[in-house]
Structure 1
Amino acid sequence: MRIKHHLQVIVAAVATVAGVLISSVGRPVEAAPGEAVPATIPLKVTNNSGRADPVYVYNLGTNLATGQQGWADAAGNFHAWPAGGNPPTPAPDASIPGPANGQSVTLRMPKFSGRVYFSYGQKLVFKLTTGGLVQPAVQNPSDPNRNILFNWSEYTLNDSGLWINSTQVDMFSAPYAVGVQLPDGTTRTTGHLKPGGYNGFYTALRGQPDWAGLIQTAPDGSVLRALAPLYGVETGALPASAMDDYVNRVWSKYSSQTLTVTPFADQPNTRYFGRIAGNVMNFTDSSGATVTSFQKPDSASIFGCFKLLDAPNDLVRGPISRTLCAGYNRSTLLANPNQPDPNSAGFYLDSVTNHYARAVHAQMADGKAYAFAFDDVGNHESLVHDSNPQQANLSLDPLS
């Protein structure tokens, strides 16, 4: 999930050893008086990858109590990042030894909004600028993490509970699943691939003209990841015209027909009506007043759900844009003039579609994924949540 374009920063969990973890001052980590959720919860990381190389885990994010950015150690203690520089300076080593294959480790997760990274074989390289942490950006061939196999989950843990997801908004790479254990002992889980799903995804991408260029390999030829299509367009790995034919057909259809958007499932009477006029899609409300307009989007705007499909955090343009973004990526706008389309069986059927997202969803055991920023439209995202989490789980799955 691409944080700067996503609806909310969600989820990540990790695990470690048996026994009671203690704070740096020797006291058990307990809930503060009156808190709905303890100050920290267990984060169990289990390594089912089948790989022999070492695993490194990182818990990076924003301390929700102070707004400071930093990292958490294995006991859940917060450490603020020091001041960075220009050029960027090395960040402190925030890595936590992860579990060996077939083993688990349990960390403590504090009230953060951020990411849990994991890497195989090598530690990740993080640096600090004057503006804060530099996250890995492997679409840049000179990024120091380009040839490291890694991935991450995103999460928020606060007084209202835990939200944790698996995300493919930036890339599809080392597979993993996330879960949250409920007070009754059951666990909600999402993110597992079908058997053979990891290789199946890459096979599907290679079989799609123009899309195989998203795949990145290591110097030894092993597959590391597939970039999300926005980065493919930005780097030239995917033609910038990838979605043009579909957009042109949408533009033609709604020059003479009306596209109805009902952005809130719990507000069926809140509807907006889109028509093309003067090469602009204008949306009106039930009174006929124009509420917002969209220029003809390009592929980058569609894949990134930004630029010409910007989605501000408001109650009109943002919800309409989110719906349009989902409709374009899933190629449902031509088949259904009433959006969002709730029927996933009709997603990605057009020959022009987000084939990356199609392949991701096709290989998920539960069909859920965050293959683009607004994949949560209609609740098709790989997210679990509970208001009283007992434990978060992160399962490192086989690369097969």
Structure 2
Amino acid sequence: MISRRKFLGGATAAAAATGISLAGGRALAGSSNGSARAAASLPLKVVNNTGQFDDASIFLYILGEVDGKRVHVTPEGEAKPVEMGDNGGDGFTDYAISLSDAGNLQLPYMDGGRIYTGLGDKLKFKAVEDGNGNAALAYPAGWVESDPNWGVLHDCAEFTFKDSGMYCNTTAVDMFSVPLSITLKGQKEQTTGKLKSGGRAQAFEKLAGGPFGDLIVEDKRIIAPSHGIDSGRFPADYLDAYIDEVWSVYSSKDLVVTTNQGEFKGRVSGNTLGFTGPGEVTIEKPSTRDVLFCDGALAAPNDAMGGPVAAIVGAALNRTSLAALASQPTDDPSGFYQGDTVHEYVKVMHEIADDGKAYGFAFDDVAGFAAYIEDGAPTEITLSLDPLK
């Protein structure tokens, strides 16, 4: 699981793993403003603006980790540990909260939290044993055709809530399906994840045809190209030519990457991009899959040296800005997604966002482009299911 990192904001933190089948959790505790502390529970409102489903047809699942144990939240706001015996006769748990019966929901302190929404049918979560023999959950994997939730319209938002505050985001790292937005009230009021009018339909229209068209699953979802590679829906060499170009460019000039630790200068030798500066960092030449997943050769450890450098390089590769801009990171989006071969999926996710921010890949938070908000003294959070058009 890839941790969200506040590389340029002065703090780094790692999220707890939240499931077995789902990669790419982002919402973590970072730094918060002021000395106020968050109350031990937070009112959660869920608003149905879909225009197509009534409240009785929408099912909520609040899941995460408390004190190292996987939990689900009841309608009363109690975090109950997941147990193997929770699987029913069909082999799956039933932690569903119908939106029509949601009442006054409360979020307890929780790490690696997710709020899943299932529209038109319940989702199937299976209690399983993790590698240590503890009860865990197999989460929906909407990019896997054999997954029991393949036919259900669903999506999720992510959060970590603790005494230092609420940290939350919407996500399209794995797929794009249900338009979700989050409004967080506290020291100020903030909203993220809201789409432009007709944004969902625009995404399906813009990505139809070409290699990205095979990622569209009817009108249910658009699978992220990272997962598309693994399922044979997307070419595994899509970014190879661009990666070759980057390696060629920086074999004869320096790449400068600036983090909180200072300035790193990098130069390619063979297949290795080596950096000197506050510390020595090396990155092997990544594959297209490494770039899209922000993993493999671009795996970013939760440290002060290699992690931030890898994340910034990975973000610039996904944004196809690395070959042209030798000083990274850059916060000017006009230089993103240029050239003949670009990450159209992420480009479109940002184009349809009302504020231009989206979590289209795991390092999309570099330079502040992710659909992420936080508050050190939150008083209420609202999750809106926005129009399905």
Distance in 2 between the 1:69 and 1:62 partners? 4
More displaced 10-residue stretch of structure 1: 341-350 or 244-253: 341-350
Greater C-alpha Rg? 1
Give aligned-pair identity as a percent.
35
* Count of residues in correspondence between the two structures: 356
Deviations 1:106-139 (A, max 9, x none): 4111111210000101000000211111011122
Instruction: Report if aligned partners of 2:93, 2:127 keep a CA contact under 8 Å in 1.
Output: no
> In the alignment, does 2:378 pair up with 1:389?
yes
3-state secondary structure, aligned to 1:211: helix
Which one-letter code corresponds to 1:137 in the other structure? A
Distance in 1 between the 2:43 and 2:76 partners? 9
3-state secondary structure, aligned to 1:210: helix
Deviation, structure 1 residue 91:
4.4
Deviation, structure 1 residue 72:
0.6
Deviations 1:210-261 (A, max 9, x none): 11111112xxxxx110111110111111100110111011011001011000
> In the alignment, does 2:233 pair up with 1:234?
no
Among 240, 243, 249, the alignment partner of 2:239 is 243
Distance in 2 between the 1:149 and 1:4 partners? 25
Which one-letter code corresponds to 1:4 in the other structure? I
Instruction: Report if aligned partners of 2:216, 2:222 keep a CA contact under 8 Å in 1.
Output: yes
TM-score (norm 1): 0.84
Q: Which residue of 2 aligns with 1:59?
A: 62
Instruction: Report if aligned partners of 2:195, 2:353 keep a CA contact under 8 Å in 1.
Output: yes
3-state secondary structure, aligned to 1:313: coil
> In the alignment, does 2:182 pair up with 1:178?
yes
Q: Which residue of 2 aligns with 1:118?
A: 117
Q: Which runs of 5+ in 1 are unaligned?
A: 13-34, 218-222
Q: Which residue of 2 aligns with 1:259?
A: 255
Among 206, 225, 231, the alignment partner of 2:221 is 225
TM-score (norm 2): 0.87
| Residues 279 and 388 of structure 1: CA distance in aligned 2, closer, same or farther (over 3 Å) | same
Report 1:64-143 matches (<5 A): 66-83=67-84, 90-99=91-100, 105-113=103-111, 114-131=113-130, 132-143=136-147
Q: Which runs of 5+ in 2 are unaligned?
A: 6-13, 16-25, 29-35, 131-135
Instruction: Report if aligned partners of 1:45, 1:106 keep a CA contact under 8 Å in 2.
Output: no
Report 1:142-157 matches (<5 A): 142-157=146-161
Distance in 2 between the 1:89 and 1:323 partners? 45
Deviation, structure 1 residue 177:
0.2
3-state secondary structure, aligned to 1:262: strand
Deviation, structure 1 residue 85:
11
Deviations 1:9-61 (A, max 9, x none): 4559xxxxxxxxxxxxxxxxxxxxxx932221100000011013510001000
Instruction: Report if aligned partners of 1:173, 1:226 keep a CA contact under 8 Å in 2.
Output: yes
Deviation, structure 1 residue 93:
1.3
Deviation, structure 1 residue 351:
2.2
Distance in 2 between the 1:365 and 1:390 partners? 24
3-state secondary structure, aligned to 1:271: strand
Deviation, structure 1 residue 395:
0.5
Which one-letter code corresponds to 1:107 in the other structure? L
3-state secondary structure, aligned to 2:236: coil
